[in-house]
Amino acid sequence: MKWIGALLFIGTTTWLGFEWSQNLTKRPKQIRQMKNALQILEAEILYSQLPLQEAFETIAKQIPEPSKTLFKSMSVSMEQRNIEFVTTWEKAVEELINISSLGSNEQEILNQFGRTLGQHDFTQQQKHIQLTISHLERELQDAIDDQNRYSKMAKSLGFLCGLFIVLLLI
């Protein structure tokens, strides 16, 4: 009986460790996705001159989950016209953060970006998009560093922690 409990416990901690390491690997990928999305947005604004709602719709079609969620939900809520843009954006960003591996830094960057969206002329808007992309780029570097440094460790740490506690308890 004791052994089964111990095995289960070690199993759980190992799983937690893997989850953590998964998160570390997914984060750079998702930041890259977000950068892609912003590049598409820039093109849609500058060359197609689409309104934001339609631009969001196009982006949602082109990028994978989870970043898709943000643009999808924005394009849906913007169909209804009398909304407060900034609050809607922030809500959608929060939703994205909850379901993705993105962290609070990314949330802050995206929120800041939302406040500039649609309030400027072409050149200004482009500058804001570029700025956001470069912010994300920095986060991406950090995320890659974190991944290299901790992802392998996270995997073994989960297992070892479990083992350690089990040994203590026996």
Partner 1 sequence: MREILRLFPEEIQQAVQVKLLNRWDKLQEIRLRLNQPIELIFDDGIEWLLTSKPTRKDGMYLINQLSEFSLYRLEDELREGYITIEGGHRVGLSGKVNTLNGSVKAIQHISFMNIRIAKEKIGVAKSIIPYLYDNGYLNTLFVGAPQTGKTTLIRDVTRIMSTGWGEVAAQKVGVIDERSEIAASIKGIPQHNLGLRTDVMDACPKAEGMMMMIRSMSPEILVVDEIGNEKDVDALLEAINAGVVVVCTIHGQTLDELKKRPSLQPLLHQSVFQRVILLESNRPGTIHRIYNEKEENIIRQPGVLTR
Among left, alpha and beta (phi > 0; psi -120 to 50; other), residue 118 is left
Q: Is 120 in the site for partner 1 (CB under 8 A)?
A: yes
- 3-state SS class at 140: helix
Q: Is 82 in the site for partner 1 (CB under 8 A)?
A: yes
d(CA 120, CA 122): 7
- Contact pick of 31, 78, 109, 110 for partner 1 (by CB under 8 A): 78
Query: Residue 131 is encoded by which pair of tokens?
Result: 């700025």
Site residues for partner 1, window 128-157 (CB under 8 A)? Answer: none
| 79 burial level (CB within 10 Å; 0-12, 13-18, 19+) | exposed
Query: Least CB distance from residue 118 to partner 1, whole Å?
Result: 4
Nearer to partner 1, 74 or 102 (CB): 74
Q: Is 40 in the site for partner 1 (CB under 8 A)?
A: no
Nearer to partner 1, 52 or 136 (CB): 52
CB 149 within 8 A of CB 27: no
Residues that bind partner 1 (CB under 8 A): 45, 49-53, 55, 78, 81-82, 85, 117-122, 125
